[in-house]
Amino acid sequence: MIEFYSKANLPTRFGNFTVYVFKNEEHKDHAVLVKGDVLGKESVPVRIHSECLTGDVFGSMRCDCRDQLLTSLKMIGQGEKGILIYLRQEGRGIGLLNKIKAYNLEDEGLDTVQANVEQGLPPDARNYRFAVDVANYFKIKSIDLITNNPQKIKYLEENGIKIEKRIPIIIQPTDFDKFYLETKKDKMGHLL
């Protein structure tokens, strides 16, 4: 269950959005950027993006998170409607401290999955309940999900969200994130 707190106009380089702030049952505040009229609509383009301080803010090249975020905002901004849900679940849900520990283990030769498991953590601890609640809050009838992650698709469908289609988000790999992306594809089933 989510609780609405506030909203405001948010002009961006990608277009004009309305930013909503909600809190979930874990008392985390999450941002939802809405473009146009999505209330009760079908085939609403939706990106569910999990927080990545190192990538989104600092421009880390260890992952493709920032590129996915900016590409999604551009896609949604160019359309007449859409939603970007920014979830506060850093490091695939393990938190910033454990993510940086995982980086250290990756520097020693482990892949991103092995680095989490080495710490006694799951490879992916994210939860998409908030995204389901947002879709229900806006009474969205169906979405076009911008993702490469089959776990997002599965979770949303199992929780009553109708997905009309998946919109792939393809980012050209770099020398820094190629192994990371291969691991996501090979060990986590990402559709790259």
Catalytic residues: 124, 126
Nearest to residue 165, comparing CAs of 192, 148, 144? 144
> How many angstroms separate the CA atoms of 175 and 59, rounded?
15
Question: Around Cβ 186, how many Cβ atoms within 10 Å?
Answer: 12
Letter string b/e over residues 6-45, b meaning 16 or more CB atoms within 10 A of that residue's CB = eeeeeeeebbebebbebebeeeeebbbbbbbebeebeebb
For the beta sheet containing 82-87, the strands, ordered from the edge strand earlier in sequence to the opposite edge, are: 3-12, 15-23, 29-35, 82-87, 44-50, 143-146, 163-167
